[in-house]
Amino acid sequence: MTTHSLLLLPGDGIGVEVMAEVERILSLLNKKSTSAKFTTTSDLVGGVSIDAHGTPLTDAAMAKAQAAGAVLFGAVGGPKWDKVAYHLRPEAGLLRLRKDMDLFANLRPAICYPALAEASSLKREVVEGLDILILRELTGGTYFGEPKEIVTLEDGQKRAVDTTVYTTREIERIARVGIDLARKRTGKLHSAEKRNVMKTGVLWHEVVTATHKAHGTGVALHHILADNCAMQLVRNPKQFDVIVTDNLFGDILSDAAAMMTGSLGMLPSASLGAPDSKTGARKALYEPVHGSAPDIAGQGKANPIATIASFGMALRYSFDMAKEADLIDKAIAGVLAQGYRTGDIMQPNMRSCGTTEMGSAILKEVERLMA
Ligand code: IPM
Ligand code: MG
């Protein structure tokens, strides 16, 4: 029997509530699975870590993340920490995890479950059956480029600078992941940048083209300007399969894609590093795309599906447990078909429920499917 280690970082706001539902599924797997067991530890990240330790992520928590088989992350931030120093804000904890673990490949699958086609703000025929994957570069670009500062000019005005930087190597490695993912799916890859305005876009286009030429057999590559990609996503999202893009465009395009699945509360994500040269294992962090939702935090209303689906991605990508991952996806589809709906995906005549009730329904369905 294999033992997998998981670090749970629930964070702030609804992060805590949605993580509790994953813990229940973990206990069930530990009780029932004959092939693998999970050991879990937890730590603080974000605002709760600022409150306890004065920093959004301690070195000790960082070390645990580096050592874990995978990290499962909830959400960070909230109005309580709006005034803390910029470099200590809750989000800095998440950015440090991404950067220090070198999690450059962020997979954000947007799948519209049949039962939710009506819950999207887009028309049923536009989103029904949607299954696309946004691959976001996660450790470079505007998020981490230097200088990043606000300076005061001689006349008293201020000037803010963010820098967008990409190197050949950074673009090539994310393009390789995009090509590999597209090959396993329908063989279609879109690369989105702004080469009409940005030098990083020019280089991105050049390197993705060359990488595809060298390694892209069987994959059709299409270049698209990022603004047009946003428009096309809303107009006809099913024309896409895999979209590879930079850190900032990926942040924005994935929020748009999320709404096609019915709600931001539905979208899981996986952030992966390069395979280890000896073991082949990748550092990995899994998190829902939604945030800490301070407006509904502590009320038991949050949708736990994105976090449960993120755990499913951990089973698939970190622990080689595709069977169990499929089972979780099936259980989610099952309870949606049974009519369970949290507030964010509520529709007429459906069973309105809260976080725990949704979690229990999924748990029951997983148990049934395992039997
Ligand atoms: C995301 C989030 C983060 C980001 C925030 C919380 C820093 O919006 O994961 O998409 O901007 O990357
Ligand atoms: Mg975002």
Domain boundary among 242, 260, 278: 260
Beginning with the edge strand found earlier in the chain, give each strand of the sheet holding 268-275 in spatial order. 36-42, 2-11, 70-75, 282-288, 268-275, 105-111, 131-137, 242-245, 188-193, 220-225
Alpha carbons 350 and 335: distance in angstroms, whole number: 11
What's the confidence (pLDDT) of residue 278? Answer: 94
177 and 226, same domain (yes or no): yes
- Of 113, 194, 241, 246, the active-site residue reads 194
177 found inside a domain: yes
Token look-up 């479950």 returns 113
The single-letter DSSP state of residue 197 is: T
213 found inside a domain: yes
220 and 289, same domain (yes or no): no
Domain boundary among 233, 260, 287: 260
Pocket test for ligand 1, best of 14, 73, 82, 91 (most atoms within 8 A of CB): 91
N-term to C-term CA, the chain: 20
Shortest-distance Cα residue to atom 12 of ligand 1 = 251
122 found inside a domain: no
Tokens at residue 116, please?
A: 């939710």
What's the confidence (pLDDT) of residue 34? Answer: 78
Q: Is 348 left (phi over 0), alpha (psi -120 to 50) or beta?
A: beta
In the chain, the number of structural domains is 2
6 found inside a domain: yes
22 and 57, same domain (yes or no): yes
64 found inside a domain: yes
What's the confidence (pLDDT) of residue 115? Answer: 87
198 and 240, same domain (yes or no): yes
Shortest-distance Cα residue to atom 6 of ligand 1 = 91
What's the confidence (pLDDT) of residue 286? Answer: 98
Nearest to 90 by CA among 69, 111, 100, 76: 76
Shortest-distance Cα residue to atom 11 of ligand 1 = 251
Name the 3-class secondary structure at 108.
strand
Domain boundary among 218, 241, 260: 260
Residue 249: CA count within 13 A, CB half-sphere: 26
Q: Which amino acid is at 74?
A: G
115 found inside a domain: no
CATH number for 183: 3.40.718.10
- Of 43, 241, 246, 251, the active-site residue reads 251
| Closest ligand 1 atom to 106 CA | 9
293 and 234, same domain (yes or no): no
254 and 269, same domain (yes or no): no
218 and 270, same domain (yes or no): no
Angle between helix 305-317 and helix 14-32 axes, rounded to 10 deg: 50
322 and 356, same domain (yes or no): yes
Q: Which residues pair with 107 in a beta bridge?
A: 135, 270
What's the confidence (pLDDT) of residue 105? Answer: 98
Determine the Cα angle at 18 with ends 108 and 281, to 5°. Answer: 50
Cis before 79? omega within 30: no
pLDDT tens per residue across all 371 residues of the chain:
899 999 999 999 999 999 999 999 999 999 998 789 999 999 999 999 999 999 999 999 999 999 999 999 999 999 999 999 999 999 999 999 999 999 999 999 999 988 899 888 999 999 999 999 999 999 999 999 999 999 999 999 999 999 999 999 999 999 999 999 999 999 999 999 999 999 999 999 999 999 999 999 999 999 999 999 999 999 999 999 999 999 999 999 999 998 899 888 999 999 999 999 999 999 999 999 999 999 999 999 999 999 999 999 999 999 999 999 999 999 999 999 999 999 999 999 999 999 999 999 999 999 999 99
CB 212, CB 265: distance < 8 Å: no
Distance 249 CA to ligand 1 centre (A): 12
Nearest to 312 by CA among 12, 8, 72: 72
233 and 302, same domain (yes or no): no
CB 9, CB 45: distance < 8 Å: yes
Determine the structural domain holding residue 47 and report its residue range.
Answer: 1-108+264-371
Backbone φ and ψ of 270, nearest 5°: -125, 135
Name the 3-class secondary structure at 151.
strand
153 and 254, same domain (yes or no): yes
Active site residue 194: yes
82 found inside a domain: yes
248 and 269, same domain (yes or no): no
- CA separation (Å) from 161 to 31, 152, 155, 166, 200? 52, 12, 17, 16, 16
- Site residues for ligand 1, CB cut-off 6 Å: 91, 94, 251, 289, 291
What's the confidence (pLDDT) of residue 114? Answer: 86
The single-letter DSSP state of residue 124 is: H
247 and 284, same domain (yes or no): no
117 found inside a domain: no
Active site residue 317: no
Alpha carbons 93 and 62: distance in angstroms, whole number: 9
Active site residue 227: yes
